Amino acid sequence: MPSGKRARQQRQSAAAAAPPPVRSKGGGGPRARQASPRALAIGGGVVAVLAIAVVLIIVLTGGGGSGGGPTVSSSDMQGLPATGSQTWAGALQGASEANGLFKGIPQSGLVLGDPKAPVTMEMFIDVQCSVCDNYEISHLPAVVQQYIRNGKVQLHLKPWSIFGGQSLTGRLGVIAAAKQNKGFEYAKVLYDNQGAEESGWLTGREMAEIAASVDGLDLARWRADVNSAASEATAKAVDKLATQKKLTGTPSILVGPTNGQLQIASGSSYDPAGVIQALNAAIAGT
């Protein structure tokens, strides 16, 4: 299997090679042509049949999700282990580091760290966001080791969608993994293998391979949760919260006392250093 870097290059090359969309040239003669009522009736019938066929395909394959890219189908799971493992032959790049980073730290759904930690850090991410990728890989590991592992800070992960499309369904993989307390490992492996924004890289198969790279993740249960109404409800709750907080981009990171008022430490202006300053100030104030 190609490395994460090579796989990313292949996805980008494939996206660049795709033919441009066909656009109508417009124009027209001196007067517009009108279709006959019979032709319109026939055309309407064809459209109705096609609409029914599309609905049946979505229902039978478990697709549709949030209206973006594909959810995970049974064919996407072929050849994968029943339980995820960083030692699986097809494990993705960064699997070992991702599983090791969070090992031994309490997880409860989308919350990482000691539930009694005096400081809370809330992080809104988009799975296709390249800036989130930079933060997750270059800065979050230090936050985990220096603030979360020692019980000073608890991290609340908020999988948001600002891009739409595959961001809508891709985040369901994180949410589904979190139902087994593996959401942070899943997100880290995802970012270690992230493709170009909106290039179509986050397919159902890619989501499944990420899951297969997370130690101890029950893949059958994970797939069922990806396609569940409960995961959709969690995703929509994140969207509502982001709107209430008037967030404008990802990663948006808020910090403050647990059960108190959180303040934006990094929002539309990406500021990893500002997050550290906010964490130190919040801890000093407890």
Residue 13 CA from chain centroid, whole number: 22
For residues 78, 79, 83, 84, the Cα torsion angle rounded to the nearest 10 degrees is -100
How many structural domains is the chain composed of? 1
Whether the CA torsion 100, 281, 286, 158 is positive or negative: it is negative
Predicted pLDDT at 54: 36
Give the integer Cα–Cα distance in Å for 215 and 231: 21
Give the integer Cα–Cα distance in Å for 93 and 229: 31
Residue 81 lies in a domain: no
Contact predicate 91/225, CB 8 Å: no
Give the integer Cα–Cα distance in Å for 266 and 126: 15
Residue 126 lies in a domain: yes
Phi and psi at 214, nearest 5°, equal: -100, 120
Structure pTM? 0.77
**pLDDT digit string, tens, across residues 134-164:** 999 999 999 999 999 999 999 999 999 999 9
Residue 235 lies in a domain: yes
Q: Which two tokens stand for residue 114?
A: 């000691």
Give the integer Cα–Cα distance in Å for 99 and 213: 9
Phi and psi at 265, nearest 5°, equal: -100, -25
Residue 213: which residues within 8 A CB-CB, separation 6 or more? Answer: 84, 85, 86, 88, 91, 92, 95, 98, 189
Residue 61 lies in a domain: no
Residue 43 lies in a domain: no
Q: Please state at what angle helix 166-178 crosses helix 219-226, rounded to 10 degrees.
A: 130
Predicted pLDDT at 48: 46
Instruction: Give the DSSP letter of residue 75.
Output: G
Contact predicate 134/90, CB 8 Å: no
**pLDDT digit string, tens, across residues 59-107:** 333 334 444 444 899 999 999 999 999 999 999 999 999 999 999 999 9
Give the integer Cα–Cα distance in Å for 242 and 81: 36
Residue 135 lies in a domain: yes
Predicted pLDDT at 268: 77
Output the tens digit of pLDDT for each of the chain's 286 residues. 444 444 444 444 444 444 433 333 333 333 333 444 454 444 455 444 444 443 333 333 333 444 444 489 999 999 999 999 999 999 999 999 999 999 999 999 999 999 999 999 999 999 999 999 999 999 999 999 999 999 999 999 999 999 999 999 999 999 999 999 999 999 999 999 999 998 999 999 999 999 999 999 999 999 999 999 999 999 999 999 999 999 999 999 999 999 999 999 998 789 999 999 999 999 999 8
Amino acid in the structure at residue 226: V
CATH number, domain with residue 188: 3.40.30.10
Give the integer Cα–Cα distance in Å for 112 and 119: 12
The angle at the Cα of 178, spanning 105 to 198, to the nearest 5 degrees, equals: 120
Containing structural domain, residue 160? 97-284
Instruction: Give the DSSP letter of residue 131.
Output: H
Residue 196 lies in a domain: yes
Residue 72 lies in a domain: no
